[in-house]
Structure 1
Amino acid sequence: MHIIGRRADGYHLLQSVFQLVDLNDTIELRVRTDQDVVHHNPLPGVDPQDDLTVRAARLLQQHANISAGVDIRVEKRIPMGGGMGGGSSDAATVLLALNQLWGVKLSRQALMTLGLKLGADVPFFIFGRNAFVEGVGEIMSAYDTPDAWFAVLHPQVHVSTPAIFKDERLTRNTPSITMRGLNVAATRNDLQAVAMSQQPRIAECLKWLSQFGPARMTGSGSCVFTICASQSDADNVISSTPEEMTGFAIRSIAQHKLREFASE
């Protein structure tokens, strides 16, 4: 996650590799005959109208002038505030699924353009493949990554992405690289140092995890990970975590499960 500049409107320019993994939330959608969009199990402390799944449904409904509505239920597994794209993934899933259920049939690019209104990471999940990402997160090129297992620790703290990007200590001038010249071992996460200073618990988890290999924060945090050679290696890391730490083993995947719900 390299921050290579900042636009006049305040948005940051980045370069990163986005990797899909097999950890997911489960979203249940049921089409309604009226135009209501109803979230039946909203997150505690979150106004249902602000939930990204509701906003995604309403955005597509208004864009395509749809007369139907939808009932929404979400079973969360992806840690909130962990930098793993849970909210963005859920929003993209709603757009992809309702594109079919409502018979909208927008192209992938049209859905990605629409998804950008909800958040910079939403287009990636609609793109649906591992990618080298640039711009503010909306420019992506398919990037093949090796199969891998990851041991992930969740520090149980919430990192505010806006607060990190506003922090004056954030590096904003990392030299630009090309996808062809990408050497993952020589990269870093520019957001990591700021996140650690704001949430020391992240630094503690990184220090513990680094005994098993190079460890890094994912996205804007707070989750941290290391790459493992196999599922058993990842499981062994997680099984040895101290009682005060929470973690899980996940594997890489090459394609979003709903990628075929949008045409090229």
Structure 2
Amino acid sequence: MTLITLNNCPAPAKLNLFLHVNGRRDDGYHLLQTVFQLVDHGDTVHFSLRDDGQILRVTDLPGVPQEQDLIIRAARLLQAEVLRRTGSLPRGVDIAIDKRLPMGGGLGGGSSDAATTLMALNKLWQGGLTREELMALGLPLGADIPFFIFGENAFAEGVGEHLQAVATPDCWYVVIEPGVQVATAAIFCAEGLTRDTEAVTIADFSRHLAESNSANGFGKNDLQQVACSLFKPVADAVEWLSAYGEARMTGSGACVFGAFSTKEEADEVLSNVPAVWSAWKAKALSQHPLLTML
């Protein structure tokens, strides 16, 4: 029996446990190294097939026109690919989203939504694309999309598309949303950005984890200093959370996180977060929830 709907599909956030900028390609893209960590907090996406070929987002997202939404762009890209492969246009789909992740937060929200869309619609449309094919399809839309389809915590290199599965700490995170949107382009274009951090290996990260039982203290986020200099709320959040242990910005910002061994520790810190900020706790995930759902 053909599926008609897929509801409650998770689109989890990611954290960058470290993020190094190692250089810049001739085309302007920066060469990065990072460890992506999935957490159990994110958006939820719902899909319902239509009787025509239209792809529509039925949830209003202020500031995100449908034509620019990665969800819609990903769905149309997959629809065209399935048509190319099968000669038959897949049915259209209504897409609703429960949006929890902030835009410009460094949590990968838009990319995660697009990845969930590709995985869910590949199932609904019986597209038959492999995980690797979906990753390749999503890469032109956003460098983080392949990671979410990869579905495991990963050591990433290049522009983020070269992925190796890696073990990460089983812990809890407190994440602060400083209330500003950080434009990725503004950070990467900044003159003060460090672009020559010495390369590390996945073995370096794994060795540190084995010795300390924590990712805290490994590397840094090269984008953090620039973001803090441009956005005082980010600097304030880093300073406040640092009182409880190492605090680090994720991605190009704006969100700031700290790692804690237990839920109780995270709850205690969360209860003290100043009311001026939104904050939440999340548990580390070992894999994307859709890997077992689909």
TM-score by length of 2: 0.87
Alpha-carbon distance, 1:245 to partner: 2.1
- Asked if 1:13 is matched to 2:31, the reply is yes
| CA distance in 2: counterparts of 1:178 and 1:46, whole angstroms | 38
| CA distance in 1: counterparts of 2:263 and 2:111, whole angstroms | 27
In the other structure, the counterpart of 1:250 is 282
Of 236, 259, 270, the match for 1:227: 259
- Which of structure 1's runs of 4+ aligned residues deviate more than 4 A? none
In the other structure, the counterpart of 1:147 is 170
Q: What's the secondary structure of 2:21's corresponding residue?
A: strand
- Asked if 1:131 is matched to 2:154, the reply is yes
**1:70-116 Cα deviation digits (max 9, x unpaired):** 10101111122110111100000000000000000100100000010
Alpha-carbon distance, 1:146 to partner: 1.8
Deviates more, 1:178-187 or 1:225-234: 178-187
Q: Which amino acid aligns with 1:247?
A: A
Determine if contact 1:57/1:94 at 8 Å carries over to the other structure. Answer: yes
Q: What's the secondary structure of 1:23's corresponding residue?
A: strand
**1:107-131 Cα deviation digits (max 9, x unpaired):** 0100000010110000000000000
Determine if contact 1:81/1:157 at 8 Å carries over to the other structure. Answer: yes
Q: What's the secondary structure of 1:180's corresponding residue?
A: helix
Determine if contact 2:177/2:279 at 8 Å carries over to the other structure. Answer: yes
| CA distance in 1: counterparts of 2:138 and 2:62, whole angstroms | 24
**1:28-59 Cα deviation digits (max 9, x unpaired):** 10011211001111311221111111111001
> CA 1:247 to 1:103, structure 2 compared with 1: closer, same or farther past 3 Å?
same
| CA distance in 1: counterparts of 2:115 and 2:37, whole angstroms | 15
1:76-225 matches, cutoff 5 A:
76-182=99-205, 183=208, 184=215, 185-225=217-257
**1:205-244 Cα deviation digits (max 9, x unpaired):** 1111000001000111100011111111111111111221
In the other structure, the counterpart of 2:58 is 40
| CA distance in 2: counterparts of 1:166 and 1:260, whole angstroms | 39
Q: Which amino acid aligns with 1:58?
A: R
In the other structure, the counterpart of 1:29 is 47
> CA 1:260 to 1:112, structure 2 compared with 1: closer, same or farther past 3 Å?
farther
Determine if contact 2:82/2:90 at 8 Å carries over to the other structure. Answer: no
Determine if contact 1:97/1:261 at 8 Å carries over to the other structure. Answer: no
Q: Which ranges in structure 2 are unaligned for 5 or more consecutive residues?
A: 1-18, 84-88, 209-214
Q: Which amino acid aligns with 1:198?
A: L
- Asked if 1:69 is matched to 2:76, the reply is no
Q: Which ranges in structure 1 are unaligned for 5 or more consecutive residues?
A: none
In the other structure, the counterpart of 1:57 is 75
Determine if contact 1:154/1:222 at 8 Å carries over to the other structure. Answer: yes
| CA distance in 1: counterparts of 2:100 and 2:64, whole angstroms | 17
Q: Which amino acid aligns with 2:65?
A: D
Q: Which amino acid aligns with 2:230?
A: Q
In the other structure, the counterpart of 2:212 is none
Q: What's the secondary structure of 1:19's corresponding residue?
A: strand
Alpha-carbon distance, 1:260 to partner: 4.8
Q: What's the secondary structure of 2:237's corresponding residue?
A: helix
Size of the aligned set, in residue pairs, is 262
Alpha-carbon distance, 1:246 to partner: 1.9
| CA distance in 2: counterparts of 1:260 and 1:63, whole angstroms | 24
Deviates more, 1:93-102 or 1:166-175: 166-175
Q: Which amino acid aligns with 1:81?
A: G
Determine if contact 2:46/2:96 at 8 Å carries over to the other structure. Answer: yes
